[in-house]
Amino acid sequence: MILTLTVIVVASCTVVENSESAAGEQGHDDAVAENAPEGLEVDVLDVGEGDAVLVRFPGGSTMLVDGGPNAAGEDVLLPFFTSIHLTTLEYVVATHPDADHCGGLDDVVNNVHVLHVWENGQTKNTATWNDFAQAVQAHGLTPRIVHRGDAEDVDGCDVEVFNADQGYADVNSNGIVLAIICEGGQVLLTGDATEATENDLIGAFGGRLHSQIVKVPHHGSSNRSPAFPGAVDAEYAIFSVGPNSYGHPNPDVAAEWEATGAEIFRTDQQGTIVGEIHNGVCQVHAEQ
Ligand SMILES: [Zn+2]
């Protein structure tokens, strides 16, 4: 039934190309729009053990969700941005203040024109977090503290905050979880969400968790709800993971996602993973 509906949607949609006039007349807008994907693109970058996800919206706007560990800024993020001629990020989101997520963000803020920073309101007194916070301040940016239920229209896509808390003792559980509803599909970016967060999300959002593409929570940690993969019911489950001493990804977790019919992708085995949604059709492939 779903397949039938998808075919109808595709057949009835008119593809609107990005025209020069819609893309902006000069400056960075042109540079970004020239590289605008056809539809929504989500690049889960290979930053080793950590997360860094670049969301590229249909009109050329961009949102970086986390920046991997410290070395990822200069080694991965900035070279990747150069390769796609990205000089402006409309949004930088720090899901939570752990070093494997915010480590490279200071380099990003110091080298890319960042317009908005989203945080969940939690900080951490570490050199890594303080470097990021100081870079944000030095560039005159005031972080927006987001909360569950916040939503932003980006290029006609709906970016919704499904989680952003300060109430848990564990910073991972408080992290920002985003649902990006766009082009007839949905991408779920889960940060380092834990079993507690996942159960909370299931209770709060139910069927709204269903997403074609999911960045699997917390590098595939065993601290998860076995019910979560079924609730998301993804076509593609992407593990952002590198060499680590935590046993990530836990084999049971990978099996649970696979059991729901999701195709598994891993940055440690396949490098950067690219997800695309265009007119309700979703594809995921390794960059190379
Ligand atoms: Zn992490």
Range of the domain at 152: 29-286
Domain-embedded: residue 2:
no
Report d(CA 190, CA 109) in Å as an integer: 22
Longest dimension (CA), the chain: 53
- 93 located within any domain: yes
The C-alpha atoms of residue 151 and residue 2 are separated, in whole angstroms, by 26
Residue 22 has pLDDT above 70, yes or no: no
Residue 188 inside a domain? The answer is yes
Q: Tell me the CA–centroid distance for residue 270 and ligand 1, in Å.
A: 19
Ligand 1: centre distance to CA 1 (Å)? 37
pTM higher than the cut 0.75: yes
CATH at residue 258? 3.60.15.10
Reported as half-sphere exposure (CB side, CA atoms, 13 A), residue 249 has a value of 27
- State how far the Cα of 217 lies from the Cα of 106, in Å rounded to an integer: 23
Q: Which residues surround ligand 1, an ion (CB under 5 A)?
A: 100, 192
Query: For all residues of the chain together, what is the average pLDDT?
Result: 91
Structural domain count, the chain: 1
Q: Strand, helix or coil at 171?
A: helix
User: What whole-number distance in Å separates Cα of residue 167 and Cα of residue 244?
Assistant: 28
d(CA 174, CA 176): 7
Judged on CB neighbours under 10 Å (0-12, 13-18, 19+), 176 is buried
Give the tens place of pLDDT for each residue, 237-260: 999 999 999 999 999 999 999 999
Instruction: Give the Å distance between the CA of 245 and the centre of ligand 1.
Output: 12
Q: Does residue 12 lie in a domain region?
A: no
For tokens 């503290």, the residue is: 145
Q: Kindly give the distance from the C-alpha atom of residue 274 to the centroid of ligand 1, in angstroms, as a whole number.
A: 20
Residue 94 belongs to some domain of the structure: yes
Per-residue pLDDT tens over the stretch 178-223: 999 999 999 999 999 999 999 999 999 999 999 999 999 999 999 9
- 45-61 pLDDT, tens digit each: 999 999 999 999 999 99
CA of 82 to the centre of ligand 1 (A): 25
Per-residue pLDDT tens over the stretch 164-182: 999 999 999 999 999 999 9
Residue 1 lies in a domain: no
